[in-house]
Amino acid sequence: MKSKMQETMERQADDLRRLHADTGRIEELAARLADRRVLVIGTGTSWHAAAQGALFLRKAGVDAWAIPSADFCFDGPAVGPNDSVVAMTHTGAKRYTGEALEQARSDGAVTVVISGLGVEGADLETVPREVSAAYTASHLGALFRLAQLAQALGADLGDLGTVPDAVAEAMASEPMSVGVPDRLMEFIGGGINQWTAAEGALKVRETAYVATEGLGIEQFLHGPSVALRRTDTLVCFDGGGPWTERIGEIADAAEQSGVCVKRVSAPGIGEPLSIFPLTVAAQRIALELAGKLGTDPDTFGRGIPGREPWSAIRL
């Protein structure tokens, strides 16, 4: 029987086609961001979307930066009427994202909320609320909404109309046949795809419970690469941009040292939009490992003996 995660992944291309056709509020909401400093906030997968979305907005000349929601609450920066806060939230339920929005509004900042269908207070809706705890379609939907906002502000990201087919192709491609590592699975990527690497690591941990790490290629090279062993797996995400040569050097060195290396590339639609098919590849790796290990990718580890104390912590 298919997991809810897999069922959701299989509809992602259609979700994106619907979003591509739905531009009703894009210009209006983009105007809220124009000529302001923009802080994009989120937690977990939404933090990865926030980081990639801030890069999209910077390509439009916007002074945009990503901040984890909890960091915004505890450490600032201070905001005011000349700022805009874009909140990424799948369900509108995350504690610190909600508190950050309240704080931003009380300080006079303009806000834009990107969330799932039917979430109270959402300015831009994405997809129906997911059943699986491993968010997939809502993540790609949020990234697509951010790309639409950035393009409305003048960013040249490529043709958004190519994204749904690229996602469908990534879903239909042959399985990567990633083996279960004895110790560690490392994900790396350059530029915007360092966050694809972080998302891959998160997805594998929360679905297959395998030790993972996701880093930018230079952060990986300058330290963590020393700890990589032949029993580990290195997954390299290449979006086909200026990082290609560097990531190739690292992949070659890892292979020559005996590490199992999986190279995943998506050069066809340009580096900014490559995050969509590469994220699907990350999702498929997570799903494949969950299947091999017999874990339930939908439950976020609920039911595992010893996990009970974690349920008392408000997310």
pLDDT, tens digit, 9 for 90 and up, residues 55-114: 999 999 999 999 999 999 999 999 999 999 999 999 988 999 999 999 999 999 999 999
Determine the structural domain holding residue 121 and report its residue range: 4-165
pTM beyond 0.95, yes or no: yes
- Confidence class for position 174, pLDDT limits 50, 70, 90: confident
Same domain as 207, residue 116: no
Residue at 110 is within a domain: yes
Same domain as 199, residue 147: no
Residue at 270 is within a domain: yes
Cα 314 from chain centre: 22
Say which CATH number the domain at 281 has: 3.40.50.10490
Same domain as 138, residue 13: yes
Same domain as 238, residue 110: no
Same domain as 207, residue 93: no
Same domain as 191, residue 273: yes
Residue at 160 is within a domain: yes
Same domain as 151, residue 186: no
Distance (Å, whole) CA 52 – CA 43: 13
Consecutive H or E run containing 16? helix 12-21
Residue at 240 is within a domain: yes
- Confidence class for position 251, pLDDT limits 50, 70, 90: very high
Lowest mean pLDDT among 22-36, 239-253, 283-297, 301-315: 301-315
Same domain as 200, residue 147: no
Helix or strand or coil: residue 243? coil
Same domain as 156, residue 116: yes
Q: In the chain, how many domains are there?
A: 2
Q: Are strands 233-238 and 110-115 parallel, antiparallel or unpaired?
A: unpaired
Residue at 191 is within a domain: yes
Helix or strand or coil: residue 67? strand
Average pLDDT in the 24-42 region? Answer: 97
Same domain as 257, residue 219: yes
Cα 167 from chain centre: 14
Same domain as 204, residue 229: yes
Q: Which of 140, 165, 190 is the last residue of a domain?
A: 165
Same domain as 191, residue 143: no
pLDDT at 1: 84
Q: Among the residues of 161-298, which ranges form H helices?
A: 163-172, 194-208, 217-221, 244-256, 275-293
Residue at 308 is within a domain: no
pLDDT at 262: 97
